[in-house]
């Protein structure tokens, strides 16, 4: 699954503090095809893996493996160290809680992830799925153990980082994309966090993990669902008309960051990032680009080609002269500026992601339930769709002040398939758009999570404890970097106001929840369409269509 760690990943914090969350009593209501109950069989518990063997007769994971310490937490479950009872091989077990698979889409995601990981051939740069198990409570995915840390963390830790080193990483990523595409798989969520080193050795292999957003594709097939992480999102994803070329774009963004330490498309807001992506202007003037070879710049340009038809394929990337002549690439250090930027990029996102996971977890557990209740309330004829009349009446019931023309516009831009009604996915996008998820209560909840003694400040020791959960070690340089960046009044602690300022700056949209990601950026796309910034491509003709 998308954010449930497949290997040794930094542990999230939202799950560990929610064990005492009160459970709401379910209300009597008509059956809804999108509700949690609808994906359970009347004859028994939910079945995720497609298998004719009853759950009571399936092999138990404990018979084959010993589950050990927790390695990390994600949106849907927990990753444990596990040991093969016979061979004593150390592996990772991702245990996905069925209670958190609330929709048919969630279940299909797990099935597809298993199918994709089972389909991909053995490859040194792709994490290997060893076995799958299912019981009444969880689905268990046993896979290779990766304990060498994330890509950027390794680069930052090294004292010497050069263009040649970047080319080696780029070749690995391009090879992963080539292998996926050759087997009819589109990854859709390539980013540095999804590449881990197998071990801590200097020559450790880099492996791609997390195929939770990946899909099978056929030649010429186009997709419309907006998924992925904004920094790495191709323009055609925002236009909802894309194919496997998006993976090459994402790899190009990673390469740009590897070479200069910052993303090519950046803004203070998610809409600003999207607009920067759509404009496609790449900056090669900032340091250290003047010192980087023309061949490297050429590859970046061709990977970040806005027109997917002109963009290089993964095979063409591998055949590019910069990668073919990697040993001849400059081996001089790119300078402290790149490592410093990468460190800040990695560390600050790590801190933010921790806070954002608290928010996302809250959203996924409670606010999504509110959305489901609202859908049931508005879907008065219980047909699994919300018509314009039902939307208008429902908004009035919940006290919305939207005028009639605004409701019509909302309906028009949200009704992606143009059938005159909103399905559940379209409805969620509307609700998130209306409710504005970045509210003060979410920030307050996240701040309180870090402020363990309730002093009103995040002290250095509290920050150190939080980062220890993520990295497994205390790094004073990391702590100092964060305090220097966030502690604006330099009193040695982080106030609530400083915390909120950090969360709102730069990458405040990097949510951990996959479902949030899907609906949030669908909502973003609606905003861009409404203000005229985004033109969709007709799925048949490929022509730009103004919305």
Residue list for the binding site for ATP = 94
Which residues are the active-site residues?
A: 189
- Six token digits for residue 336: 């402290």
Distance CA 262, CA 281 (A): 14
Residue-wise DSSP of 150-179: BHHHHHHH-S--BHHHHHHHHHHHHHHHHH
The residue to which tokens 């796309």 are assigned: 525
C-beta contacts of 480-489 below 8 A and 24+ residues apart: 481/343, 481/344, 481/347, 481/348, 482/347, 482/348, 482/351, 485/344, 485/348
**Which residues does residue 147 pair with via DSSP β-bridges, in sequence order?**
none
The DSSP secondary structure of 219-258, one letter per residue, reads TT--B----S-GGG--HHHHTT-B-THHHHHHHHHHHHHH
Residue that has been written with the tokens 């496609």 in this structure: 280
Which residues line the annotated binding site? 94
Question: Is 527:434 a contact under the CB 8 Å cutoff?
Answer: no
Q: Which residue has the tokens 């894309």?
A: 242
**Under DSSP, is residue 181 helix (H, G, I), strand (E, B) or coil?**
helix
Range 54-60, long-range pairs (CB < 8 A, 24+ positions): 55/134, 55/135, 55/136, 58/133, 58/134, 58/135, 59/133, 60/133, 60/135
Distance (Å, whole) CA 187 – CA 182: 12
């Amino acid at each position: 699954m998308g954010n449930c760690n497949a290997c040794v990943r930094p542990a999230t914090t939202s799950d560990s503090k929610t064990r005492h969350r009160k459970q709401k009593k379910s209300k009597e209501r008509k059956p809804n095809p999108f509700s949690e109950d609808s994906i359970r069989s009347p004859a028994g518990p939910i079945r995720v893996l497609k298998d004719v063997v009853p759950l009571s007769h399936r092999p138990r994971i404990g018979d084959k493996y010993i589950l050990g310490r927790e390695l990390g937490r994600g949106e849907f479950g927990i990753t444990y160290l596990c040991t093969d009872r016979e061979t004593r091989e150390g592996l990772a077990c991702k245990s996905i809680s069925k209670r958190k698979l609330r929709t048919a889409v969630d279940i299909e995601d797990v099935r597809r992830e298993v199918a994709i990981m089972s389909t991909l051939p053995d490859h040194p740069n792709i994490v290997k799925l060893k076995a799958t198990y299912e019981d009444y409570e969880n689905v268990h995915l046993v896979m290779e153990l990766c304990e060498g840390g994330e890509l950027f963390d390794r680069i930052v830790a090294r004292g010497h980082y050069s263009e040649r080193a970047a080319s080696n990483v780029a070749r690995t990523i391009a090879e992963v994309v080539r292998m996926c595409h050759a087997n009819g798989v589109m990854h859709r969520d390539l980013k540095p966090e999804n590449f881990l080193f197998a071990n801590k050795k200097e020559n450790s292999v880099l492996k791609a993990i997390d195929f939770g957003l990946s899909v099978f594709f056929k030649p010429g097939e186009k997709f419309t669902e907006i998924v992925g992480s904004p920094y790495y999102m191709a323009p055609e994803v925002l236009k909802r008309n894309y194919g496997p070329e998006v993976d090459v774009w994402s790899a190009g963004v990673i390469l740009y960051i590897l070479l200069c330490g910052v993303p090519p498309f950046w803004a203070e807001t998610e809409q600003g990032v999207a607009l920067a992506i759509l404009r496609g202007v790449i900056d090669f003037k900032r340091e250290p680009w003047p010192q980087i070879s023309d061949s490297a710049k050429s590859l970046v340009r061709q990977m970040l080609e806005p027109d997917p038809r002109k963009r290089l394929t993964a095979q063409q990337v591998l055949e590019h002269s910069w990668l073919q002549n990697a040993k001849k690439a400059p081996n001089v250090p790119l300078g402290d500026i790149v490592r410093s930027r990468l460190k800040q990029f990695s560390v600050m996102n790590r801190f933010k992601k921790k806070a954002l996971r608290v928010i996302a977890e809250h959203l996924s557990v409670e606010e999504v339930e509110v959305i489901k209740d609202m859908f049931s309330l508005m879907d008065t004829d219980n047909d699994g769709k919300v018509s314009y009349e039902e939307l208008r009446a429902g908004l009035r019931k919940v006290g919305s002040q939207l005028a009639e023309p605004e409701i019509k516009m909302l309906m028009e831009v949200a009704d992606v398939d143009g059938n005159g009604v909103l399905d559940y996915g379209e409805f969620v996008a509307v609700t998130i758009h209306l409710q504005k998820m970045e509210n003060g209560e979410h920030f307050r909840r996240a701040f309180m999570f870090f402020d363990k003694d309730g002093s009103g400040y995040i002290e250095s020791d509290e920050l150190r404890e939080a980062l220890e959960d993520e990295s497994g070690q205390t790094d004073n340089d990391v702590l100092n970097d964060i305090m220097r960046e966030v502690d604006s009044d330099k009193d040695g602690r982080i106030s609530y106001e400083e915390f909120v300022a950090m969360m709102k700056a730069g990458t405040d949209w990097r949510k951990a929840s996959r479902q949030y990601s899907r609906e949030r950026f669908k909502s973003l796309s609606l905003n861009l369409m409404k203000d005229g910034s985004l033109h969709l491509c007709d799925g048949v003709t490929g022509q730009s269509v103004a919305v």
